[in-house]
Structure 1
Amino acid sequence: MDVMQRLSRWASLSEPGLISFLFQTLLGLVLVLLFWLVDGALDYLLFGGNSFTSVLFAPDSYKDLALALFLVCGMLLYSRRAHRNESSLEKALQAALEEAQKERIKMEGIFEALGEAVSIQDPELRVLYQNPAHQRMTGENTGRYCYEAYRKQSEVCPGCHIVASFQDDKVHRAELGPEFSATGGWVELIGSSLKRSDGTPLYGIEIVRDITARKLAEQETAALNAALTHKASELQQVNQELEAFCHAISHDMRAPLTRVYSSAQELRGYREQLDDNGRFFVDLVHDGCIQMESLLDSLMVLCRVTEVEISCTTFDLVPAAQEIAAQLRQDQSGAPVSFITPERLPVYGDPQLLRVVLENLLSNAWKYSNKVAAPVVELGVLTTEQGESAVFIRDNGAGFDGTRAGQLFQPFKRLHTFREFPGTGLGLATVRRIVRRHNGRVWGESEPGRGATFYFTLPG
C-alpha cells in the first residue's frame, strides 16, 4: 500500500518536478557507488592482504555500503520534502501575486473612473501613479519628483501638504494660484497618507481639483459685494440727506405756514365785508394751509418710520384696529361703518410701526367708503398662493382702477382728486416702507365702484 501511494504521488508530480526527482535519485546512486569504491580502495591500501575485489566485496564493505545508502536515502527524502515545501510556497506566492494584481487593477479602475485627478507618491515624493484625469491636468510625470515636475523646483516645497500628512497622519489642503500651479489656473490640493503598522510612511495620496471657475465666481461675488456696499453707503447718505431735508422743510415751513393760516382765520371774520371772490380766496388759503399742515405731518411720519429702530415681538392686531376704528367713528361723519374683525390676529413685528400701517389703511377704507349707503370694512388674514399668511383690509367703497395699483404706493401719487377724497398721497408710501422694513410685501386689488382690498405680509 505504501508503494502504491508513492507511485500515485510520483504520477501527480509535474514534469519539471519528476525530472528533478529522478536526477536526485540517480545522483544519490552514483554517490553511493563512489563511496563504496573509495571505501574499498582505502581498506585495500591501508590493510593490504587480499585482492582489491575481495576487499571490495567483504562483509564490512556491505555494512558501509548500507550506511551510505541509508544516508543517501535520507538525503533524498529530505530533498523531496524541501522541494514540496518550496513548491507550496511558490504556489502561495503566485496566488498572493495574482490577488495583489487583481487589487491593483481594481484600485486603478476606481482611480481612473474618478472625475478627480489623483496621484500616488512614495515617501521621497516620487510620483508612482497618475490616473488619466491627473495626466490630462498635469501631464505624464511618473517616476519624477513632484516638486520638480509640478513646481520646477529642486527641493521639497515649503509647507508641502503631503509631507505634513506624513508627519501627523491628517488630511491637509492647499490652494495654488495660476502663477504656481501646473495647470495655469487655480487648483486645490488635498493630501493624505498611508503608513505601515510601525507608523513609517508608505504612500502619499494627492487629489488635485481645478477651482478656477469657483475662484472667478468668488472674485465676481466680492466685486459685486463691494459695489453693493458702495451703493448701500451712497443710498444711506442720500436717505440721511432726505431725512434732514424733510425735517428742515417740516420745521422751517411751520412758522410761515402758521402765520398764513392765522391770517386766513382772521380774514374769515371779515367775510361779510368781502365779495364772493374775496370769500373764495380766503377759503382757498384756509383750506390750503390745512392741507399743507397734513402734508408736513405725513412727511414727519414718513421720516420717523425710516429712521426708527425696529423692535419686533408677537402681538394681536385686533385690539389696536378696534381702537383706531373707534377714533375714526368719532372723527368722521356719515353713515356708520360696520367693522368686521376676527377674534384674534397674532402677528410678529414692531407694534408701533404696524399701528401706523393700520391707521393709514383703515383711515383710507373709512374715507373711500363714506359715500356708500352701508359701508363695511373688514380686517382679516388669508393664505396666498405662495403659502404666505397675508393680513388684509377690505372695504366696499369707491375702489380704483386695478391696472394702476402700483402708483398708489409712490409718494404723492393719487388716483382721486383732493376734492373727491382729501389726502396727502403719503399714507400708502409710508405703509410700503414699514412693510418692507419687516421684509414683507404689500399690494392692492380693486375695481372702480366695487371697493378695494389691501394686503401685506410679515415673514417673521
Structure 2
Amino acid sequence: MDVTRRMARWAKLSEPGFISFLFQILLGAVIVLLFWVLDGLIDYLLFGGRPLSDFLLASDSHEDFALVLFLVCGLLLYSRRAHRNEAALEKALQAALEEAQRERAKMEGIFEALGEAVSIQDPDLKVLYQNPAHQRMTGVNVGRYCYEAYRKESQACAGCHLLASFEDGKVHRAELGPEASATGGYVELIGSSLKGKDGKPLYGIEIVRDITARKLAEQETAALNAVLTHQTTELQQVNQELEAFCHAISHDMRAPLTRVYSSAQELRGYRQQLDDNGRFFVDLVHDGCIQMEALLDSLMVLCRVTEVELSCTTFDLVPAAQEIAAQLRQDQPEIPVSFIAPERLDVYGDPQLLRVVLENLLSNAWKYSNKVAAPVVELGSRVTEKGEIAVFVRDNGAGFDSARAGQLFQPFKRLHTYRDFPGTGLGLATVRRIVRRHNGRVWGKGEPGRGATFYFTLPS
C-alpha cells in the first residue's frame, strides 16, 4: 500500500501543471535574489565607503526585499490561479470535444443502421455528410454542391425539395425518373430541415430511396389492370350474349315444343290403332317433350340466377328445407325418405337463391335414394379444416365415384344414366353458380352404393 501511495504521489507530482508551478516558484526566487543583489550593488556604487555586504544587509534593503517578495508571491498566486482556470477550461473543452465525437459517431451509427441513403447539406446545398448507403448510391460528393454533383447544374434546381423545406420547415418529397436521377433509376427524395433558435436553417437532411422496383411493379400492375378491364368488358358482353341466347332458346323453343307435345298427346289417343313400334315411338316423343320442357325450365332458372341482384341477410335455413322436404314427400309419396334437420341453421345470403340451392340438393338426394330400402336425407353443418362453416346435404343413396366429382358441377354432365335417374344435368351447375355469387365454394364427396354428401360455404 505504501509503495502504491508513493507511486501515486510521484505521478501526481510529475504532472505538467505541478512541474510548471515549481518552475514559477524557482523563477520568482531567482528574480527576488537578483533584485536584492542589484539593489545592494547600486547602493554600494552610489554611496560607497562601506563593504558591499553592509549594503546587502542594510534595513532599507530588507524592506525593498520584502516588498518585492510580496509582489512576486502575489504574482505567483495569480499565475497559479490562472493556470488552474486554464487547465479547467482545457479539460471542459476536451470533454466537449469528446462528447461531440461521441454524438457524431452515434449519429453516423444511426444513419448507417437506418439502411436509407442519407446526406446532410448546408443552406447553400453543399454536401456536408453522406452515409455509406448514400455514397454507394450516388458516389462520394462531400464538399460539392448537390446540384453540381447530381444534376450537373450551375444553380439550384427548380422546385428543390430542400429549399422548400428551408422556407417552410415542412417535409417535402420529390420523385425523379431515370433521365434525371443520379442512380439511373427511379428515386424518391425526402427533404427536411433543421433550424436554429433564431429560426434560420442550419442543415438540410435528405433521404434518397430507390423506388425502381416499385415503379416497375406499378407499371406492370397498371398494364395488367388494363388487360383485366378489357377482359372483364369482353366477359360481360359474352355473359350478356349468353343470357340473351338462353332466353331466346327457352322462349323460342317452347312454341314448337308445345306443338310436338300436343301432337304426341293426341297420338296417344290412337294407341289401339298402332302396333307396338308405333306406340313405342309415340311414348318416346311424349317423354322427350317432357324432358325438353324440364330442361328449358332449368335453363331459365340458370339465367335468372345470373341476372338477379343479391339481397343478403341472416336467416334460418331450416324452415325452407322443411317446406321443400314436405313438397317432395307430396310429389313422390312412394319414396319413404326420413328427413333429418337441426333445430336451427343460421346462414348469411340471399334467401330466394339459397332456397334454389336447397331445392336442387334435396331433390337430388330424394331422387338418388329412391332405390334404397330405408332412405335417409340429412341437412346439417360442420366446421371445415379452414375454419369455415359448411352446410351439407347427405343421403344414403346411389352415391358416385369421387374420382369423377369434378364433372358433377358442369352443365349437362351426368354420372348416371337418364333411364336410372332422370334429370336435366343443370341442377348442380345452378348450385355452383349461386354459391360462387355468394363468394363461397361447393364440393361433393361420395362412394358408389354408399351415398353422397354435398357441401357449400357462405360468407360469415
Secondary structure of the structure 2 residue equivalent to 1:315: strand
Q: Distance in 1 between matches of 2:55 and 2:450?
A: 148
Q: Distance in 1 between matches of 2:274 and 2:230?
A: 60
> Is this contact kept in 2: 1:335–1:373, CA < 8 A?
no
- Per-residue CA deviation, residues 264-306 of structure 1 (Å, 9 max, x unaligned), is 2222222222222222222222111111111111111001101
User: Paired residue for 1:82?
Assistant: 82
- The structural deviation recorded for 1:257 is 1.5
The one-letter amino acid of 1:115's match is G
User: Paired residue for 1:351?
Assistant: 351
- Per-residue CA deviation, residues 169-196 of structure 1 (Å, 9 max, x unaligned), is 4433332221121111122223333333
The one-letter amino acid of 1:256's match is P
Deviates more, 1:243-252 or 1:264-273: 264-273
- Per-residue CA deviation, residues 316-344 of structure 1 (Å, 9 max, x unaligned), is 11000000111111112423111000111
Matched, 1:145 2:145: yes
The one-letter amino acid of 1:200's match is K
TM-score by length of 2: 0.87
RMSD: 3.2
Q: Distance in 1 between matches of 2:20 and 2:455?
A: 103
User: Paired residue for 2:131?
Assistant: 131
Q: For structure 1, which runs of at least 5 residues remain unmatched after alignment?
A: 1-7
Q: Distance in 1 between matches of 2:143 and 2:21?
A: 42
- The structural deviation recorded for 1:373 is 1.6
The one-letter amino acid of 1:88's match is A
Q: Distance in 2 between matches of 1:235 and 1:259?
A: 36
- The structural deviation recorded for 1:393 is 0.5
The one-letter amino acid of 2:97's match is L
Secondary structure of the structure 2 residue equivalent to 1:269: helix
TM-score by length of 1: 0.87
- The structural deviation recorded for 1:163 is 2.9
User: Paired residue for 1:378?
Assistant: 378
User: Paired residue for 2:267?
Assistant: 267
- The structural deviation recorded for 1:16 is 6.5
Deviates more, 1:320-329 or 1:333-342: 333-342
The one-letter amino acid of 2:239's match is N
The one-letter amino acid of 1:299's match is L
Identical columns (%): 80
User: Paired residue for 1:300?
Assistant: 300
- The structural deviation recorded for 1:231 is 1.2
User: Paired residue for 2:93?
Assistant: 93
User: Paired residue for 2:424?
Assistant: 424
> Is this contact kept in 2: 1:409–1:428, CA < 8 A?
yes
The one-letter amino acid of 2:356's match is V
Aligned length: 449
Q: Distance in 2 between matches of 1:32 and 1:282?
A: 157
User: Paired residue for 2:194?
Assistant: 194
User: Paired residue for 1:408?
Assistant: 408
The one-letter amino acid of 2:125's match is L
- Per-residue CA deviation, residues 120-173 of structure 1 (Å, 9 max, x unaligned), is 222222111112221111111111112221222222223333333334444333
Deviates more, 1:269-278 or 1:377-386: 269-278
Q: Distance in 2 between matches of 1:438 and 1:425?
A: 22
Residues 31 and 185 (structure 1), Cα distance of their counterparts in 2 relative to 1, 3 Å cut: farther
> Is this contact kept in 1: 2:165–2:172, CA < 8 A?
yes
Q: Distance in 1 between matches of 2:347 and 2:36?
A: 116
- The structural deviation recorded for 1:397 is 1.2
User: Paired residue for 1:441?
Assistant: 441
User: Paired residue for 2:278?
Assistant: 278
Q: Distance in 1 between matches of 2:111 and 2:320?
A: 68
> Is this contact kept in 1: 2:127–2:141, CA < 8 A?
yes
